[in-house]
Amino acid sequence: MAFKRNVTDLHWFGNTEFDTKSGFMYLIQANQAFHWNVDSPWSGYHILISPLLLQENQIGFSFFNYEIREALFLTENEQLRIETLFEQVYNEYQKDDYSMDLLMAYCNLFLTYVQKCYERQFKTREPLYNKIVVAFKKELNNYYLEHPKQLPSVNYFADNLHLSSNYFSDLIKYNTGKTALELIHEKIISEAKNQLKNMDKSISEVAHALGFDYPTYFTRLFRKHVGCTPSQYREKL
């Protein structure tokens, strides 16, 4: 985890017109290579945490898998709070008899606050992200016209919109109240209902047309969302 101040070139970290430039932070995943050049000095903090420690302490957040270009840009008050939390972790770690339990508790508190700040960033960027939601829904509505017999995925739409899957999913959830996967499933079910009206098609043919390799998976998804199997649904038509 990196928190930085006084960095001048913030564009490729994901800075937008809706963000302040008082400070920002991002996360780098384990084994991820990363380098960058700056023209002026900067200051800040780094904390390196073993993924094993996070797993052992059951600490996990979706932003762990955000890209560096999806950094968190802080308000003045958020920056002060982030600095305080960083210093608490650092001060405890400097003790000869530091407590690992306390360190991880501080880290969990820090990361929980980061999650809250990201939620604020989604809200601040709402005018920008509304356009992304509209673009996603448009692509989703036209998906089967352009990609017959291919199952839509979160990764596909995230890549098209130049976002990581996790950031895209959180953005969609914040702005619509539903996850990207839920909206994709709704589209699949809607398309399935239309195709089931064609009595000349078998259930397996409908499943294949929607991109399912195995009809049983299609049946399971359909029953979960509709409350009956495709065959039972067709009988009611």
Amino acid letter at 32? Q
Which residue pairs, CB below 8 angstroms and at least 24 apart, start in 221-229?
221/185, 221/188, 221/189, 222/189, 222/192, 225/185, 225/186, 225/189, 226/189, 226/193
Per-position b or e across 106-117, b if 16+ CB within 10 A of its CB: bbeebbeebeeb
What are the strands of the beta sheet with 24-26, ordered from one edge? 43-46, 2-5, 24-26, 72-73
Domain(s) labelled CATH 1.10.10.60 in the chain stretch across 127-236
What is the model's pLDDT at position 133? 96
Question: Is 23 exposed, middle or buried, given 0-12, 13-18 or 19+ CB atoms closer than 10 A?
Answer: buried
Domain 127-236 has CATH 1.10.10.60: yes
176-198 residue pLDDT tens: 999 999 999 999 999 999 999 99
Structure-token match 């002060």, residue found: 80
Mean pLDDT of 203-215: 95
- DSSP assigned state of 228: S
Rounded to whole angstroms, the Cα distance separating 24 from 10 reads 9
Is the pLDDT score of 40 beyond 90?
no
Query: At 31, is the pLDDT very low, low, confident or very high (cuts 50, 70, 90)?
Result: confident
Name residue 25's beta-bridge partners: 3, 72
81-118 residue pLDDT tens: 999 998 999 999 999 999 999 999 999 999 999 999 99
Is the pLDDT score of 39 beyond 80?
no
Instruction: Enter the pTM of the model.
Output: 0.87
Is the pLDDT score of 34 beyond 90?
no
What is the model's pLDDT at position 28? 87
Closest CA to 63 of 16, 26, 30, 15: 26
